[in-house]
Structure 1
Amino acid sequence: MTLLDWLFVVGYLVFSFGIALYFYQRAGEDTSEFFLSGRAMPWWLAGTSMVATTFAVDTPLLVTEMVAQNGIAGNWLWWNAGFGSMLTVFFFARLWRRSGVMTDVEFVEFRYSGEVAAWLRGLKAIFFGLLMNILIIGWVSLAMETVIGRLFPDLTLFGQSAFMILGREISAALVVVAGLILMVSAYALLSGLWGVMVTDVFQFVVAMGGTIALAFFVLDMPEIGGIQGLHDQLPDETFHLLPTIGGAAEGAATFSLSALAFAAYAGVQWWSSWYPGAEPGGGGYIAQRMMSAKDEPNALFATLWYTIAHFCLRPWPWIIVALAALVLYPDLNEPRAGFVLVMKDVLPAGMLGLLFAAFLAAFMSTVSTQLNWGVSYLVNDFWRRFVQPDADEKHYVLVSRVLTFGVALLSLVVTLFLDTIAEAWGLLLSSSAGLGLVLILRWYWWRINAWSEMVATIAPILLTVSALILNAFGIQVPGLQAEFPLNLYSVVGFTTVLWLAATYLTRPTDPDTLDAFYRKVHPGGPGWTPVAKRHPDVEADRGLGRLALDWLVGVVLVYSTLFGAGYLILGWTVWGLACVTVAVLAAAFLWRDLQRDEISLFGAVEEREETA
């Protein structure tokens, strides 16, 4: 790193803190400003913030590892989530904005009634806002340690390369990461969501600009020789965009799936399992962005822009670098480190600092969002609900800032004791399998109650833990102990039977709660017929069949754009132009349909808000 490199890094940090200080006063007005930016966010800002948040520091490294192991098609392990993300665009984005809640955990008591609803809200606030949150921060912190450790292999602090902290030997790189987390917590507690989201846009531009520049630089190397050089030096199957379905793959670098495994990914996972940033029906920080939009159309278009950018455009610079890393470092023991080694060995002075700033941006964007989102649960759904319900807004803002710093400190402690998160992805998806269907149906079926969601939340966790315990004792239960994703069939099946039983064996949600929900959100479809009969004056959403068609066309838009960009970049022009043509036609259809049916899609927004 030269002086010019460090100037880029320092300039980025100064600008980020400048944004935080600029929004300090506004964020301190009330919790709506601190957590939802006053519900005044335009679609492009909210959508870009979603993309920036999911551009974690570990994602380029993970994509590099996927490509090294299974070729480009290995990305279908996360590309399949495009189905669910597009479902959120048309069926849930407008409903989240219309609901008026501050968090998706608050939604629990807005939709359900009784003590079990209060328990569910409190448990979800602690589980997601604290436990899950600090694990995610620990996850990305380990990835950032890898980046710093590879870029600065001789890094020392105060003359030491490692430190003993809480009985653990900690690398100097991880100590630097700890300092970065405290730095992020400082600007997150200063600026609230306004500062986080505006900084997200800046960080996204820096991160994407840096990775695109890296792709161009590595392709220009004599050892690579451009796209054609990659084709010449790597097996053809490495460039397949679709996995091999059934039977053995042609080569070691081809992603091969059995028909049942492919059906699990493409037909079960995306709607059945909860995962941060890919919750069925929307949720977490994605829901937070939708609820911060200034109206329903802005919430819909923010989620649409996020889906296209997240799945179609953002991965390709990473994939190109990952392919180049296979050529430059064919025998690398840790494939994900190939991305960082390309940075270190390829970039000239100045550009290395820019890309290091890009990784800082990716890291800080994710951590700041996790802190703001997680603390919104702890303050709004635990502290305000159960501890101090009658305080003023200044009190809650102060608690929010204190907890932001406290959660950051706690995440540091957890990070120190994390060695690896191997298989955590599959375990997390397995332990939430079946919950997704309840998260979807609670919007469109009145009979779903708090017990439905409670059982659907707990049952897959117990099933997954039971499978692990039975494995340890050598006891086999067919289906339940299958490897991910084949275990989804049994876990989703058992969980669905259990939550349906709980639904019909317990009392329905109180009619007054259902009536208030229906009058505020006015969801459409036959699932609300008994409630709709009590409120003939409420105009429910119409055209669910048209929304289903828009969803299908949206899925075509996402994957034709994804394939079109890939084919053009990889030099298959005819296929690329064909896919781009399909994408343009799909986009034109959606635009026309949304404009023509604006009333039925979005409702008479101003009139309904006045009525509510």
Structure 2
Amino acid sequence: MVELSSLDYFLIIIFFTITLSIGLLVSKKSGKNSSEYFLSGRTMPWWLLGISMVATTFSTDTPNLVTDIVRSNGVSGNWVWWAFLITGLLTVFVYAKLWRKSNVNTDIEFYEFRYSGKAASFLRKFRALYLGVIFNVITMSSVTLAAIKIGGIMLGLEPWETVISAGLITVIFSALGGFKGVVYTDFILFFTAMAGAIGAAYYLINIPEVGGIDALMVNENVSSKLNILPDFNDNKAIITLLVIPLAVQWWSSWYPGAEPGGGGYIAQRMLAAKDENHAIGATFFFNIMHYALRPWPWILVALASLVVFPDLSSIQEAFPNISADKLGHDLAYSAMLTKLPSGLLGLVLASLVAAYMSTISTQLNWGSSYIVYDFYKQQVNPNASEKKLVAIGRLSTISLMILSALLALLLQNALQLFDALLMFGAGTGLIFILRWFWWRINAWSEITAMFASGIVTILFKFTYIGDYLFNHDNGIFHDYYEYPISVLITTVIWITATFTTKPENKETMQSFYKKIQPGGPGWKKIVSEAKAEGIDIEDSKKWSVPSGILAILLGCILIYSCMFATGYYIYGKYINSVLLGAIAIISAYLLKNTWKKIKENVL
């Protein structure tokens, strides 16, 4: 537990005051109608939306998760989420413009735009509750769990005290300010969070116990954890940390913030953009900031924690008030923050509050949009007034906050939840990629995949079947085969369902193609049939996906090069850093030219 100085309290109070003031200032305009409340009238510029995306993923549970990964699997363990860069750039260069063209209010509304009949109606209704309530509550509970651990370690707060104090202000400004309030405050929250993370990392690697960056690099607890790539002599590490994430995970799993084909709060921001180019710019800016800029401050603190708190028992000894059910390696991040001096401590606490508020406010507004547009308006009250829709939005915002807070009190660590969420989406991602470019995908494809993925996860994670198949000591398969086998089973099931059920009706598919213009060989049958009927649904623009794939490759090289060049510079390996920097410059030049071709096909 730390003692806060007057300066610390001053910084925190100033931060809260600014945040609440923004919510109050925009509340009147945000409450004007549901479009303003959930999409800010679709007038947002790319840079503001991009910063909002970054701020949203800059959550209290993220540094805890990275710390858990680094302490358990080393720096290379981060490939479990670094691989999602491919997913993010796929959204940037292929799907961002498609989402903005759709002009839907939520990505769930897409279902009745792309599909038809009772199956589409059920899918929209079910996914609204499944994602907007269940998945959303689970995600927010993970963020709140991190806040609980930070409050317990740094301030000696009981879990319920943290939940009430952290959640109350967040839910007030979220309910009042709507999407505009969320995005405007995200701008402040991002810079506050970055300043806190960088300041904490710089100070903590220079405390006497650590001894500076040079001493950190040669410490016996740290030196084996530094590799950016897994040990190629360790088959299990290569398969679990590199092969599965890069070969399977990025395209196969639905995970909040990294949905194949875009979705969730990322889609919400693309839909709020001024136009298609602003949607592309926002998502690209997000991916650069998310992967190239942010990881290293967290990684450095995680590495330093191995010197100060080498194991769980040392954390338990230093913080005996932490209950056994909350003890985990993710606690090491907040444990290190207790060593910060006055002033910087206040800034870092404000930054952690900023990270918490940004993520929770986004999740609340996004989840509430599903409940309002895709459930209440569709199923309960189709004739609801705009004033009524905003009122339901605010009520659902408060309800989601309460549910997530209650669940957070039952959870133990962030990595546990990360793994579970990945498994529950295993095998569904390919549908979200293909549904834009293959006419044969239908509503039953998605319904089957969704239930198959859930059932397979329950069987593997919570029954003896998982132990029998993937037990670490005596299972039939190595435990790292659990995820790819789940993907394979789910994929086989939904492909079978696709070809054994009827395709969507011709009118729906022609209408979808005419508005979106996805192009490609997957729609040739529909375009040909329309032409045979004298209906022209295809424009003359060149298919931009090949250029988009090239841009994805160049973007990955650019961002990974920037990230690893930074890492090698920190490690003192300057030749590697310079070489990677040169590769980044070359790939940026080539990407710029490729982007011009993509923009020509957007305008």
Using the size of structure 2 for normalisation, the TM-score is 0.91
1:428–1:506 CA distance, 2 compared to 1 (3 A): same
Further displaced range: 51-60 or 330-339: 330-339
Identity %, equivalent residues? 40
Aligned to 1:557: 558
Matched to 1:493, the amino acid is L
1:488 CA displacement:
2.6
Equivalent residues in 2 for 1:75-86 (5 A)?
Answer: 75-86=78-89
1:181–1:263 CA distance, 2 compared to 1 (3 A): same
Q: Deviations over 1:510-551 (max 9, x none)?
A: 111111111111101111112223253531551322221111
Q: Does 1:342 align with 2:343?
A: no
Contact 1:273/1:432, CA 8 A, preserved across alignment: yes
1:575 CA displacement:
0.8
1:332 CA displacement:
4.0
Equivalent residues in 2 for 1:210-229 (5 A)?
Answer: 210-229=196-215
1:470 CA displacement:
4.8
Aligned to 1:536: 536
1:569 CA displacement:
2.1
Contact 1:50/1:306, CA 8 A, preserved across alignment: yes
Aligned to 1:167: none
Q: Return the alpha-carbon distance in structure 2 between the equivalents of residues 279 and 565 of structure 1.
A: 27
Q: Return the alpha-carbon distance in structure 1 between the equivalents of residues 218 and 470 of structure 2.
A: 47
1:78 CA displacement:
1.1
Q: Return the alpha-carbon distance in structure 1 between the equivalents of residues 165 and 495 of structure 2.
A: 47
1:236 paired residue among 223, 235, 238: 223
Further displaced range: 361-370 or 402-411: 402-411
Contact 1:245/1:262, CA 8 A, preserved across alignment: no
Q: Deviations over 1:313-365 (max 9, x none)?
A: 101111111111112222443432222222211x2211101100111011111
1:90–1:422 CA distance, 2 compared to 1 (3 A): closer
Unaligned runs of 5+ in 2: 314-327
1:81–1:53 CA distance, 2 compared to 1 (3 A): same
Aligned to 2:395: 402
Task: Figure out how many residues of one structure are paired with residues of the other and give that number.
Answer: 577
Matched to 1:414, the amino acid is L
Contact 1:245/1:259, CA 8 A, preserved across alignment: no
1:421 CA displacement:
6.0
Give secondary structure in 2 for the equivalent of 1:92: helix
Q: Return the alpha-carbon distance in structure 2 between the equivalents of residues 473 and 93 of structure 1.
A: 38
Q: Does 1:275 align with 2:255?
A: yes
Aligned to 1:56: 59
Q: Does 1:38 align with 2:41?
A: yes
Equivalent residues in 2 for 1:38-437 (5 A)?
Answer: 38-153=41-156, 155=157, 172-234=158-220, 235-247=222-234, 257-259=237-239, 262-333=242-313, 334-345=328-339, 347-419=340-412, 423-437=416-430
1:492 paired residue among 487, 491, 494: 487
1:424 CA displacement:
2.9
1:358–1:483 CA distance, 2 compared to 1 (3 A): farther
Q: Does 1:598 align with 2:562?
A: no
Aligned to 2:432: 439
1:374–1:9 CA distance, 2 compared to 1 (3 A): same
1:368–1:511 CA distance, 2 compared to 1 (3 A): same
1:373 CA displacement:
0.5
1:573 CA displacement:
1.3
1:482–1:10 CA distance, 2 compared to 1 (3 A): farther
Matched to 1:129, the amino acid is G
1:482–1:313 CA distance, 2 compared to 1 (3 A): farther
1:544–1:411 CA distance, 2 compared to 1 (3 A): closer
1:455 paired residue among 438, 444, 448: 448
Q: Return the alpha-carbon distance in structure 1 between the equivalents of residues 218 and 427 of structure 2.
A: 45
Q: Return the alpha-carbon distance in structure 2 between the equivalents of residues 218 and 469 of structure 1.
A: 40
Give secondary structure in 1 for the equivalent of 2:338: helix
Q: Return the alpha-carbon distance in structure 1 between the equivalents of residues 329 and 471 of structure 2.
A: 34
Contact 1:5/1:349, CA 8 A, preserved across alignment: yes
1:474 CA displacement:
6.7
Contact 1:61/1:339, CA 8 A, preserved across alignment: yes
1:419 CA displacement:
4.7
1:28 CA displacement:
1.1
Q: Return the alpha-carbon distance in structure 1 between the equivalents of residues 451 and 480 of structure 2.
A: 19
2:502 paired residue among 507, 513, 532: 507
Further displaced range: 425-434 or 440-449: 425-434
Contact 1:481/1:487, CA 8 A, preserved across alignment: no
Matched to 1:34, the amino acid is Y
1:597 CA displacement:
4.7
1:552–1:230 CA distance, 2 compared to 1 (3 A): same
Q: Return the alpha-carbon distance in structure 2 between the equivalents of residues 328 and 478 of structure 1.
A: 33
1:371 CA displacement:
0.5
1:260 CA displacement:
7.1
Contact 2:460/2:466, CA 8 A, preserved across alignment: no
Contact 1:445/1:528, CA 8 A, preserved across alignment: yes
Further displaced range: 533-542 or 200-209: 533-542
Equivalent residues in 2 for 1:14-25 (5 A)?
Answer: 14-25=17-28
1:246–1:400 CA distance, 2 compared to 1 (3 A): same
Q: Return the alpha-carbon distance in structure 2 between the equivalents of residues 60 and 555 of structure 1.
A: 23
Q: Return the alpha-carbon distance in structure 1 between the equivalents of residues 405 and 461 of structure 2.
A: 28
Matched to 2:330, the amino acid is R
1:576 CA displacement:
0.8
Contact 1:523/1:541, CA 8 A, preserved across alignment: no
1:572–1:446 CA distance, 2 compared to 1 (3 A): same
1:7 paired residue among 10, 18, 27: 10
Contact 1:48/1:306, CA 8 A, preserved across alignment: yes
1:118–1:55 CA distance, 2 compared to 1 (3 A): same
Matched to 2:199, the amino acid is A
Q: Deviations over 1:415-440 (max 9, x none)?
A: 33445566332232222211100010
Unaligned runs of 5+ in 1: 156-171, 249-255, 605-612
Q: Return the alpha-carbon distance in structure 2 between the equivalents of residues 75 and 474 of structure 1.
A: 26
1:447 CA displacement:
0.9
Q: Return the alpha-carbon distance in structure 1 between the equivalents of residues 402 and 578 of structure 2.
A: 50
Aligned to 1:523: 518
1:484 CA displacement:
5.7
1:178 CA displacement:
2.2
1:469 CA displacement:
5.6
Q: Return the alpha-carbon distance in structure 1 between the equivalents of residues 558 and 96 of structure 2.
A: 18
Q: Deviations over 1:471-526 (max 9, x none)?
A: 26975499998566422322222222211121111111111111111111110111
Further displaced range: 47-56 or 224-233: 224-233
Q: Return the alpha-carbon distance in structure 2 between the equivalents of residues 459 and 481 of structure 1.
A: 22
Matched to 1:580, the amino acid is G
Contact 1:281/1:440, CA 8 A, preserved across alignment: yes
1:420–1:69 CA distance, 2 compared to 1 (3 A): closer
1:16–1:473 CA distance, 2 compared to 1 (3 A): closer
Give secondary structure in 2 for the equivalent of 1:23: helix
Matched to 1:489, the amino acid is P
1:308–1:550 CA distance, 2 compared to 1 (3 A): same
Matched to 2:506, the amino acid is P
Contact 2:469/2:477, CA 8 A, preserved across alignment: no
1:82 CA displacement:
1.1
1:302 CA displacement:
0.8
